[in-house]
Amino acid sequence: MNRIHGTGCVTPRSRRDGWRLLLALLVTVGAAAACTRGDSGGSDEDVDLGGRLTTRGAGDLLPSGFTPSAGGRGLEVLERRAPTGPAPEDVTVAELGVDFGAPEAPVRMIEMFDYGCGYCRAFHQDTRGPLHEQYVDAGQVLWKSIPFILGRWPESAPVTLAAECARDQGRDYFEAISDLLFANQSDWKSASAPEEVAEGYAQEVGLDMPRYRTCFENDEFLWRVQAHTALANELGVRGTPTFLLVGFGTIPGALPLETFRQVIDTVLVEVALEQL
CATH number of residue 28's parent domain? 3.40.30.10
Band (19; pLDDT cuts 50, 70, 90)? low
List the Cα angle 129/250/2 in 5-degree steps: 85
Q: With a threshold of 0.75, does the pTM exceed it?
A: yes
In a domain, 137, yes or no: yes
Q: Is 106 helix (H, G, I), strand (E, B) or coil?
A: coil
H or E segment to which residue 44 belongs: none
User: pLDDT of 195-211, one tens digit each?
Assistant: 999 999 999 999 999 99
Q: What is the pLDDT of residue 36?
A: 75
- Backbone angle region of 74, left / alpha / beta, with phi > 0 → left and psi within -120 to 50 → alpha: left
Band (22; pLDDT cuts 50, 70, 90)? low
In a domain, 158, yes or no: yes
Q: What is the rounded end-to-end Cα distance, in angstroms, of the chain?
A: 28
Q: Are 54 and 216 in contact (CB under 8 A)?
A: no
Band (74; pLDDT cuts 50, 70, 90)? low
Q: Are 224 and 78 in contact (CB under 8 A)?
A: no
Q: What is the pLDDT of residue 198?
A: 97
Q: What is the pLDDT of residue 242?
A: 94
| CB neighbours of residue 127 within 10 Å | 19
Q: What is the DSSP string of 226-247?
A: HHHHHHHHHTT--EESEEEETT
State the residue range of the domain holding 33: 14-58+68-274
Band (172; pLDDT cuts 50, 70, 90)? very high
Q: Are 9 and 107 in contact (CB under 8 A)?
A: yes
Question: Looking at the predicted structure, is the pLDDT value of residue 65 above 50?
Answer: no
In a domain, 177, yes or no: yes
d(C-alpha 270, C-alpha 251), whole Å: 17
Angle, helix 156-167 to helix 222-234, in steps of 10 degrees: 120
Task: Tell me the average pLDDT of the chain.
Answer: 79
The one-letter amino acid at 173: Y
In a domain, 96, yes or no: yes
d(C-alpha 204, C-alpha 45), whole Å: 43
In a domain, 131, yes or no: yes
Number of structural domains the chain divides into? 1
d(C-alpha 242, C-alpha 258), whole Å: 17
Question: Looking at the predicted structure, is the pLDDT value of residue 9 above 70?
Answer: no
Q: What is the pLDDT of residue 252?
A: 83
In a domain, 237, yes or no: yes
Band (88; pLDDT cuts 50, 70, 90)? low
Task: Please give the average per-residue pLDDT across 37-41, as a whole number.
Answer: 44
In a domain, 6, yes or no: no
Band (190; pLDDT cuts 50, 70, 90)? very high
User: pLDDT of 215-265, one tens digit each?
Assistant: 999 999 999 999 999 888 888 888 999 999 888 888 888 989 999 999 999
In a domain, 93, yes or no: yes
Band (49; pLDDT cuts 50, 70, 90)? very low
